[in-house]
Amino acid sequence: MAKQDLTTIISRALTDEEFRALLLSDPDTALAGYELEEAEEKALRNLPADAFDKLTMDLENRQSKSGFMGAFSLMSGKDAALDASTLLNLLSNKYGGK
């Protein structure tokens, strides 16, 4: 369940500005009810405020190069849970998580 919840959280943070703001300002409330591994929760709590904006811009650039479905292929299909972890690592490493 944790991997599915991680996918849901990242998807919501990328597409729902209110949820993203809540996640960044009050992670206790935003993450309530989700099952995450300790490392995943720590990584989400330590993301800088602009991490999702930067990732969104990167995905939009990818979309323009590969078409609509290519941009979101990371978040779909049977490997979505693995891809959510990959995206979390990208957010943490590329965009400056603590």
Q: What is the tally of structural domains in the chain?
A: 1
Question: What pLDDT is attached to residue 65?
Answer: 65
Per-residue confidence of the chain (98 residues) as pLDDT tens digits? 577 899 899 989 988 999 999 999 999 999 999 999 999 999 999 888 888 888 788 777 776 766 555 545 544 444 444 467 777 777 777 766 55
Maximum pairwise Cα distance, the chain: 37
Residue-range definition of the domain harbouring residue 16: 2-94
Question: What pLDDT is attached to residue 79?
Answer: 42
* Helix/strand/coil (H/E/C) assignment for every residue in 19-73: HHHHHHHCHHHHHCCCCCCHHHHHHHHCCCCCHHHHHHHHHHHHHHHHCHHHHHH
Question: What pLDDT is attached to residue 78?
Answer: 43
pTM above 0.75, yes or no: no
